Amino acid sequence: MPKIKIEGGHKLSGTITISGAKNSVVALIPAAILCDETVTISNVPDITDVDDLEKILIHLNAKIERETGKVVINSSDIINKEITEDLSKKLRASYYFMGALLGKFNKVDMYFPGGCAIGARPINLHLKGFELLGAKITEEDNHFIIEADKLKGNNIYLDFPSVGATINIMLAAVKAKGKTIIDNAAQEPEIVNIATFLNNMGAKIKGAGTSTITITGVKYLHSCFHEVIPDRIEAGTYLIIGSLLGHNLKIDNMIPNHLEALIAKLTEAGVDMEIGLDNIVIKEPKEYTATDIKTLVYPGFPTDLQQVMVTFLTQCNGKSSVEETIYENRFQNIKELRKMGAKAKVRKDNRKASIKGKVDLVGTDVSATDLRGGASLLVAALIASGVTNIDNISYILRGYDKIVEKLTNVGAKIEII
């Protein structure tokens, strides 16, 4: 099994260019099948989640051409057959085929999605939305058949502003008859990116980025060209790395506005950064002060940066606390960080951790427990003394485009062995 080997302690200088957002592209690709013509998506990151979605498209007989940073998708000859359990389970975002196939054919046949084991991650809100649009759901042993004679717009209130449910309902409603209103919708930038893509094809979606989204059904969706927004979680990860090791390190092609909560917290800890229109420069690391973090839905502190932030907090003087409110099981990385010398404890209910700093981390053998947990170990390895070998790296490669190349280019000693 390949591992990532890192020799820690090297200063990082130069420019890291941020790729297209994983959590946007993984919805855009399934959304593309709703188009009645050909769509082109650019700024596509080279990550294994995209490879897995491509496999599903090929399985459904869609035509997909992929070249560096671009995919062209034509779904004219798509066959609406069962998405096998193996394909459904490869990633979380396979669930976007539920909304997309239901919206296109009024029927979908697939299994419960996969993804990192960071909590139970039910899909009850997605299913509630489909039912309110007129679909009937048959479920047996994680196998779902969702079908409707006709989808009809409705008012849908989400008990929680779920990213996945908001996007899935938009996908199912875009060609439904009449008007759908999603209340308490998620407001993440990825939602806006998907709505813009659908609107570029001729959909009528208003309010994306607010808590109320209105979708007026249309009959036909035409060809379009669309660009994936920069990955705010990738940018945030490199910003944290830069805060610890950057000497005139520029994080480029990012949207600082999408990271307000992280920037506020890093500033509170003492990080000095120059914020440009589409980049942030970190001049040099400083002594940092402990701070408290609580994950929230956007625009609050993103759960997807919580684990990497824990590594940052091991380098802050004093005691920090981190509260995870989105997922029940997102502190698995702490056990591995402790092997490197981190002084961190997780409360029994798995919802809160305390971190004591500053400690000198030491390289050793660790194992990625999930995507962002893997990233937190990678950041720890970059600052640790000696060599760290990270196992289970498929988690990391699921979501970080060219991570070894990007870090090598700015002076890190990192390789896949």
Q: Kindly state whether residue 156 participates in binding ligand EPU, applying the rule CB under 6 A.
A: no
Which of these ranges, 122-130, 138-146, 202-210, 264-272, lies near ligand EPU under the rule CB under 6 A? Answer: 122-130
Nearer to ligand EPU, 113 or 153 (CB): 113
Q: Kindly state whether residue 305 participates in binding ligand EPU, applying the rule CB under 6 A.
A: no
Given CA atoms 98, 172, 327, 311 in this order, what sign does their dihedral have?
positive
How many H helices and E strands in the chain? 14, 24
Q: Which residues, 6 or more positions from 86, have their beta carbon under 8 angstroms from its beta carbon?
A: none
Q: How far is the CB of 232 from ligand EPU (least distance, A)?
A: 10
The gap from C-alpha 164 to its chain's centroid, in whole angstroms, comes to: 11
Q: Kindly state whether residue 125 participates in binding ligand EPU, applying the rule CB under 6 A.
A: yes
Nearer to ligand EPU, 26 or 98 (CB): 26
Q: Compute the radius of gyration of the chain from its Cα atoms.
A: 21
Among 65, 107, 122, 365, the residue binding ligand EPU under the rule CB under 6 A is 122
Among 162, 187, 193, 237, the residue binding ligand EPU under the rule CB under 6 A is 162
Residues in the chain: 417
User: Binders of ligand EPU among 8-27, rule CB under 6 A?
Assistant: 22-23, 26
Q: Kindly state whether residue 372 participates in binding ligand EPU, applying the rule CB under 6 A.
A: yes
Q: How far is the CB of 299 from ligand EPU (least distance, A)?
A: 12
The per-residue DSSP string of 21-75 comes to: -HHHHHHHHHHHTT-SSEEEEES----HHHHHHHHHHHHTT-EEEEETTEEEEE-
Q: How far is the CB of 256 from ligand EPU (least distance, A)?
A: 19
Return the structure tokens found at 272. 């000095």
Q: Kindly state whether residue 401 participates in binding ligand EPU, applying the rule CB under 6 A.
A: no
Q: Kindly state whether residue 326 participates in binding ligand EPU, applying the rule CB under 6 A.
A: yes
In angstroms, the CA 104 to CA 177 distance is 12
Q: Kindly state whether residue 172 participates in binding ligand EPU, applying the rule CB under 6 A.
A: no
Q: Kindly state whether residue 313 participates in binding ligand EPU, applying the rule CB under 6 A.
A: no
Helix (H, G, I), strand (E, B) or coil at 185: coil
Q: Kindly state whether residue 403 participates in binding ligand EPU, applying the rule CB under 6 A.
A: no
Q: Kindly state whether residue 229 participates in binding ligand EPU, applying the rule CB under 6 A.
A: no
In angstroms, the CA 394 to CA 117 distance is 14
Among 304, 324, 336, 401, the residue binding ligand EPU under the rule CB under 6 A is 304
Which of these ranges, 120-128, 278-286, 308-316, 409-417, lies near ligand EPU under the rule CB under 6 A? Answer: 120-128
In angstroms, the CA 11 to CA 246 distance is 6
Q: How many CA atoms lie within 13 A of 228 on its CB side?
A: 28
Among 9, 14, 119, 386, the residue binding ligand EPU under the rule CB under 6 A is 119
In angstroms, the CA 131 to CA 126 distance is 9
Nearer to ligand EPU, 342 or 371 (CB): 371
Helix (H, G, I), strand (E, B) or coil at 188: coil
Q: Kindly state whether residue 344 participates in binding ligand EPU, applying the rule CB under 6 A.
A: no
In angstroms, the CA 24 to CA 231 distance is 8
Q: Annotated catalytic, 116?
A: yes
Q: How far is the CB of 413 from ligand EPU (least distance, A)?
A: 26
Cis peptide leading into 2, omega within 30 of 0?
no
Q: How many CA atoms lie within 13 A of 221 on its CB side?
A: 33
User: Binders of ligand EPU among 188-207, rule CB under 6 A?
Assistant: 188
**Where on the chain is the footprint of ligand EPU (CB under 6 A)?**
22-23, 26, 92-93, 116, 119-126, 160, 162-165, 186, 188, 303-304, 326-327, 371-372, 399
Residues with active-site annotation: 116
